[in-house]
Amino acid sequence: MTKRGYHHGNLRQALVDAALSLIEEKGPTGFTLSEAAKSAGVTPAAVYRHFEGREDLIVECALQGHAIFGDLMEFAYKGGQPSALQAFEATGRAYLAFARKYPGHYMAMFESGLSRHATPELARAVARSRGILEQAAEQLSEHIPEDRRPPATMFSSHIWAMSHGVVELFARGNPGGNVPFPPEDLLEAGIGIYLRGLGLVAPDK
């Protein structure tokens, strides 16, 4: 591979793309800056023109991931259309779709140990994607009597945790167990049970 050094046309993004591939292969903490530089076809010294270190590079991977994730969640939610229930269920499916299509971003976002407050930009990106799910939960919970209505943050956190669990156990890498159901069906059934418990879905659905 030819060393292109500082003359690389878009070195910053080339390093991000290299890091994402390495994250998929080795995990967020399993690669070095030198490996990322080699994969991008530049010298290790060139990396420091754009990133202070490996964590800074992973932060950029996570930031780009949250931007994509936020767009995907917004698209799935569709402003609560065609119904609050259908829009809410669509956000759960969007979580699975994102984890499958963007595994490097997903791992940088959720498995790197980064604080969501690592940078102001990352904090805003995380708040945006979480905010869409909270908005969906709040809209749906308006159908629950106020004295039995859980806080939207708790409601959305339960669904977030369920979605993350299905991804980790059954949708990526080595599935945990020989479950004869697609991850989408597992998540949809889990959300259905949860929503029935809140009285938002009829018992026969």
User: What is the spatial distance between Cα 79 and Cα 140, in angstroms, rounded to a whole number?
Assistant: 12
User: What is the spatial distance between Cα 33 and Cα 36, in angstroms, rounded to a whole number?
Assistant: 5
Domain ranges, ordered by start, for the chain: 1-51, 54-197
CATH superfamily of this structure's domain 1-51: Homeodomain-like (1.10.10.60)
User: What is the spatial distance between Cα 106 and Cα 96, in angstroms, rounded to a whole number?
Assistant: 10
Cβ atoms of residues 102 and 65 within 8 Å: yes
pLDDT for 8: 47
Fold of 54-197: Tetracycline Repressor; domain 2 (1.10.357)
Q: Express each pLDDT in 157-203 by its tens digit.
A: 888 899 888 888 887 665 555 667 888 888 888 888 888 888 776 66
How much is the average pLDDT of 141-154?
Answer: 84
User: What is the spatial distance between Cα 169 and Cα 181, in angstroms, rounded to a whole number?
Assistant: 12
Cβ atoms within 10 A of the Cβ of 9, count? 7
Q: Express each pLDDT in 92-122 by its tens digit.
A: 888 889 998 999 999 999 988 888 888 899 9
User: What is the spatial distance between Cα 59 and Cα 23, in angstroms, rounded to a whole number?
Assistant: 12
